[in-house]
Amino acid sequence: MKSPRLRAALLQETDRGSVAANLDAIEAGLREAAQAGAQLVLLQELHNGPYFCQHESVDEFDRAETIPGPSTERIGALAEELKLVVVASLFERRAAGLYHNTAVVFDRSRAIAGRYRKMHIPDDPAFYEKFYFTPGDLGFDPVETSVGKLGVLVCWDQWYPEAARLMALAGAELLLYPTAIGWDPHDEDAEKQRQRDAWITVQRGHAVANGLPLLACNRTGFEAAPDAGRGIQFWGNSFVAGPQGEFLAQANTDRRELLVVDIDLQRSEHVRRIWPFLRDRRIDAYGDLLRRFRD
């Protein structure tokens, strides 16, 4: 029987310089999380290496791997050994010329419990993801696990209320976002603060609008641009919000941290009773949401 309380951990990490070093750090983090009594661990976006999307280069496709593949084999074995539910994030090689940004879920087993392919793909300075990733084709379906139905989304998805809502409508009990987001080092401090506040605020809004706990795990540290650009200072600040948007835990800005938090899964039921947003939706009047814009 599923427990009404969930101890979750978010592993906020820096790039360690190689796939082997990053997976070693992840193994250490998973062992630390298990020692702390965690049942669920969320890893950051594309955790096997640097955020390579700062430039466009065909050589970067060499980083991709199949799923199942070497990384899922290692992380799955750890999930089984440590009896953890683990949400990983990988550059998937589906076929020659077909690649995805894919989250993979393990449920205390080396077998893959489910996966989600990133649906919203950005194309902005230093975030040239459309060059690398095909938009996801698996829809917005939660992954059933022993700790609940996980609504797993990825990074840029976190700006879209539709994605969170569709996960909630499909029965998700938590929203989870592996993330890689940071500042242009040349931006003014006030602009940096606005960007980080917006990132936090929009996700807290998803928690509120859907009455669900939300976990966002970001990377941290400065990563130089391969093409001598400005680079990105990833801002960390991984956090967990409750179903009213309240902070349950928040990590630091500039260093590795294992954030461990206890989540009361029964609060969603209580919150949705007093704030019945799903009841009051006007689904008969939302047809224009399927239009790009109302001209």
> Which three-class secondary structure state does DSSP give residue 180?
coil
Q: Which of 53, 60, 92, 155 is catalytic?
A: 155
Count Cβ atoms below 10 Å from residue 216 Cβ, excluding itself: 29
Which token pair is 125? 């300075």
Of 175, 168, 180, the residue nearest 217 (C-alpha): 180
CA dihedral over 110, 158, 11, 8, signed as positive or negative: negative
Of 45, 69, 40, 54, the residue nearest 261 (C-alpha): 40
- Peptide bond connecting 50 to the previous residue in cis, omega within 30 degrees of 0: no
Which token pair is 233? 């200072």
User: Distance between CA atoms of 134 and 145, rounded to whole angstroms?
Assistant: 27
Give 102's strand partners: 90, 117
Cβ pair 103, 87 in contact under 8 A: yes
Active site residue 45: yes
Active site residue 155: yes
Of 88, 142, 137, 138, the residue nearest 110 (C-alpha): 88
Q: Which of 118, 129, 217, 257 is catalytic?
A: 118
Active site residue 269: no
To the nearest 5 percent, what fractions of the chain are helix, strand and coil?
A: 30, 30, 40
Residue 22 sits at φ, ψ, to 5 deg, of: -65, -40
What does DSSP assign to residue 245? S
Q: Which of 13, 45, 92, 257 is catalytic?
A: 45
Which positions are annotated as active-site residues?
Answer: 45, 118, 155
